[in-house]
Structure 1
Amino acid sequence: MRQPLLLGMMRLLDYPELAAPQALLGFIERCVERGLNGFDHANIYGLGECEARFGAALRLRPQLRQDLELISKADIVPSSLDLSRWRVKHYNSAASYLNQALESSLARLGVERLDGFLLHRPDPLLQVEEVTRALQAMLASGKVGWIGLSNAEPLHWQVLARELPLRCNQIELSLLAQQPAWGGQLQAMQAAGLQVLAWSPLAGGQFPPALQQALGEVATALQATPTQVALAWLRRLPGNPLPILGSLRQARIDEALAGSELQLDAPTWFYLAEAARGIKAP
């Protein structure tokens, strides 16, 4: 994963200008031209419609597939898709469900292979041997290039990594979600060889006023923008976390790319961390 960021497809349906396959294809092509070829999907994004729309666009130019890195995730069952009498959101890491989810994602995207396949959320009912065999079989089949986890804690990846070549762990990480930086989680992932993928790196644009002010001050000092500074704060962390940008607005993507080389020194990092947390470093 050498690109400066990944593009998250969770909110694809929120962009009517990308609804037509040709329009979405143009967007994908522009991203690839800018060096952004990683697209982060999940089987539940838009209840499958996000993958389906992406696939419809890709079918207009199938040869583009070789330039893309397609990631998808599975094991969350939204309440609307629960077929039991309880209609409850739950997790399903059974081999049969994961295999069905993989095949469905491949069909919606119109591809024969996913570059990456992730377990979306830690399942308290996960059976290690069953999941291990299922993911190993996916790799052996060639339908998945590599596997990883999402939202996993150290014990989750330590157990699964005994038998599986895990590539990454996708976690919430931002100035408003700093705990992995303070609790040793990032160092543990780095030691385990797991790439950190940071979802919601800009906290959904919900930075409080005090943090907005601090970001503005740093941005002015560094001749950058607050968004660029917030992403640079992430890059300063151990393991060089790779942000997953949730916005599909071209202007926001261009802004993020323009600041991809921005670096923060330690005092600036701690200044922003303190502004976000509201407390001084211990």
Structure 2
Amino acid sequence: MQRVNLTPDLTFSRLVYGMWRIGDDADTSPKHVQAKIEACLSQGITTMDQADIYGGYTAEAVLGNALKASPGLRDKLEIVTKCDIVAPAGRHSAARVKHYDTSAAHITASVEASLTDMGTDHVDLLLIHRPDPLIDPDETGPALDALVTSGKVRAVGVSNFRPWDFSLLQSSMENNLVTNQIEMSLLATDTFVNGDLAYLQERMVSPMAWSPLGGGRLMDGSKPELLAALKRIGAEHGVDETAVAVAWLLRHPAAILPVMGTNSLERIAKIADATKFEMDRQTWFELYTLAIGREVA
């Protein structure tokens, strides 16, 4: 499995396992969660993507229970988590309204709660989950820097930020923001032409892609010609259509890291199939053309 350098001493597997729905599985036992992680590790997938809000603030503890039950497993992983969304659920059930909080106090408290729930002394990457209209970069930036200095967080980044949001936060930080996790797929192609991806490429920041299969909608037949092409290309390379859709993202020179989320052990075992072939330029544009519904100008 190819690895991507986010900092000189932090590398991620090119494919990332997303744990958004890990708490929704019928079996959340440490043994079953460990089986998912081991299925990832057997393919060279070492990076796990979490967030405090996942599962109504329960998903991190599901992972933590598995790590506690299997000493030594944590050392094989890189853990990503996120903060700043406050929803009326779990530990934030008293909140009157869903909102964002990028205050130093909230970020620090969120990290402490994440460390406790996951039973670890550090996370490898902390992301600000959503842009906060009330962000004070002179408060948020130093708070993130302090977490890096403390060793509780190895690196920091953002998620769903536009270029101006990214620049604003970066302007008040000593440490570099090392990624922006944004929606990218054959059903979410705007970022390839609206400047979001170009901005990151210019700064040599490797982006992460959430929902690389469009939340499953890519495979539901709503775009029959696109799905047929994915299946045909997959058959030509001995992989299924989901692998082709992910390979489409991997083909981009920005070194995109797709975040693959599934609770199925069978599907987890096939995540790395996307790396089994390299897509040529014309095939990339064939799929892009079908995705946007027109020939490029």
Residue type of the partner of 1:213?
A
Aligned to 2:125, what secondary structure does the other structure show? Answer: strand
What CA deviation, in whole Å up to 9, does each residue of 1:156-180 have, x standing for no partner?
1122223231111100000000011
Q: Quote the residue 2:50 is aligned against.
A: 41
Structure 2 residue corresponding to 1:205, chosen from 208, 216, 219 = 216
2:242 counterpart letter in structure 1: T
Q: For each residue in 1:3-48, what CA deviation from the matched residue of structure 2 results, as whole angstroms up to 9, or x when unmatched?
A: 231111110023223x111222233233223211111010000122
Q: What SS is found at the alignment partner of 1:148?
A: strand
Contact 2:49 2:79 in 1 (8 A): yes
Q: Corresponding residue for 1:50?
A: 59
Q: Is the 8 A contact 2:50 2:60 kept in 1?
A: yes
Alignment of 1:143-222 (within 5 A): 143-162=152-171, 163=173, 164-207=175-218, 208=222, 209-222=224-237
- The root-mean-square deviation of aligned C-alpha atoms, in Å, is 1.6
Whether contact under 8 Å (2:179, 2:207) holds in the other structure is: yes
Q: TM-score, normalised by structure 1?
A: 0.94
Q: Does 1:231 align with 2:246?
A: yes
3-state DSSP of counterpart to 1:63: coil
1:251–1:22 CA distance, 2 compared to 1 (3 A): closer
Instruction: Check if 1:3 corresponds to 2:13.
Output: yes
Cα distance in structure 1, aligned partners of 2:83 and 2:17: 18
Runs of 4+ displaced beyond 6 Å: none
Q: Distance in 2 between matches of 1:53 and 1:240?
A: 30
Structural mapping, 1:63-212, within 5 Å: 63-80=72-89, 81=92, 83-84=94-95, 87-162=96-171, 163=173, 164-207=175-218, 208=222, 209-212=224-227
User: In the alignment, what sits opposite 1:247?
Assistant: 262
Q: Which segment drifts farther, 252-261 or 127-136?
A: 252-261
Deviation at 1:2, TM superposition (A): 4.1
Q: Contact conserved, 2:52 with 2:83, CA < 8 A, in 1?
A: yes
Output the amino acid matched with 2:153.
Answer: V
Identical counterparts, % of pairs: 37
C-alpha distance in 2 between matches for 1:126 and 1:62 = 39
Equivalent of residue 14 in structure 1, options 13, 24, 29: 24
Between the aligned partners of 1:227 and 1:254, the Cα distance in structure 2 is 13
Aligned partner letter, 1:11? R
Structure 1 residues 2 and 147, CA, compared in 2 at 3 Å: closer, same or farther?
closer
Residue ranges of structure 1 left out of the alignment (5+ in a row): none
Helix, strand or coil: the match of 1:171? Answer: strand
Distance 1:125 1:150 in 2: 16
Question: Are the aligned partners of 1:228 and 1:262 in contact in 2 as well (CA < 8 Å)?
Answer: no
Of 255, 265, 280, 1:265 maps to 280
Distance (whole Å) between structure 1 residues aligned to residue 229 and residue 93 of structure 2 = 44
For each residue in 1:27-78, what CA deviation from the matched residue of structure 2 results, as whole angstroms up to 9, or x when unmatched? 3233223211111010000122111111011111232211110110000111
Native 8 Å contact 2:52 2:114 kept in 1: yes
Counterpart AA for 2:166: W
Q: Who is 2:71 aligned against?
A: 62
TM-score (norm 2): 0.89
Q: Cα gap change, 1:136/1:2 in structure 2, threshold over 3 Å: closer, same or farther?
A: closer
Instruction: Give the superposition deviation at 1:82.
Output: 5.8
Moved more, 219-228 or 260-269: 219-228
The secondary structure found in structure 2 opposite 1:158 is: helix
Distance 1:245 1:96 in 2: 31
